[in-house]
Amino acid sequence: MYRTLDDNELFAYVRKDDELAYTELYNRYWQKLYFLAHKHLKSDADAREIVQEVFFIIWAERRSLSIASFPAYVAAMTRYAVYASIARKKRLLLKEEAGSQALSAVLSELLENKMMLEKISKLSSRLPEKCRLVFIRNKLLDQPLAQVAEDLHISPKTAEAHLTKALKIIRGSLGEAFSCLLF
């Protein structure tokens, strides 16, 4: 029964403590999130830990979470966890090498990255539907543009046009200082 439900329906069951719905969401997204984490961390153990942490938080916070798009939400959570993991590793290295002054710079950078990702997520929700889907899948979920075009049943040129439009709108809202982060 759960395999036929979409993510939002499944999460509605999860909010009602349905462990089978939770397991279905876990099975749908575990490998994708693992790939995303491993891509940045280059560590099997760290990537697995990140994914477990994300799904633990989803379950623990299930009743209070308000999720509009489950894939985008868990991808963003995974990125935050990756950033935190990288920051922890940098913090350990910096303590050994340079002390606490460099640590505050890393934490500040992490906070800025998190705030930027939140702002980009909010801005992306204001994009036209196709632009938003192409942007989220390509830039936030790290899917190749050709794969996004195939999934959305549009041509690669159309996907590229939607992405260009989305980036232009978001860059205009963010300002030039942050536009380099979207490439």
Q: Give the domain CATH number at 172.
A: 1.10.10
- Three-state secondary structure call for residue 59: helix
Q: Is residue 75 part of a domain?
A: no
Whole-number pLDDT of residue 173: 78
- Cα dist from 87 to 46, 96, 169, whole Å: 13, 14, 30
Task: List pLDDT tens digits, range 141-175.
Answer: 788 999 999 999 999 999 999 989 988 888 887 76
Q: Is residue 164 part of a domain?
A: yes
pTM > 0.85: yes or no: no
Q: Is residue 162 part of a domain?
A: yes
Q: Is residue 23 part of a domain?
A: no
Q: Is residue 182 part of a domain?
A: yes
Whole-number pLDDT of residue 104: 65
Q: Which domain holds residue 158?
A: 126-183
Q: Is residue 133 part of a domain?
A: yes
Task: List pLDDT tens digits, range 82-113.
Answer: 999 988 888 888 777 765 555 566 667 777 77
Task: List pLDDT tens digits, range 16-56.
Answer: 999 999 999 999 999 999 999 999 899 999 999 999 999 99
Check whether 60 has a pLDDT greater than 90.
yes
- Given a contact cutoff of 8 angstroms between Cβ atoms, the answer to whether 159 and 148 are in contact is yes
Q: Is residue 134 part of a domain?
A: yes
Structural domains of the chain, count: 1
Distance CA 3, CA 45 (A): 28
Q: Which amino acid is at 56?
A: F
Whole-number pLDDT of residue 156: 93
Quickly tell me which residue has 């990140």 as its tokens.
50
Q: How many CA atoms lie within 13 A of 41 on its CB side?
A: 27
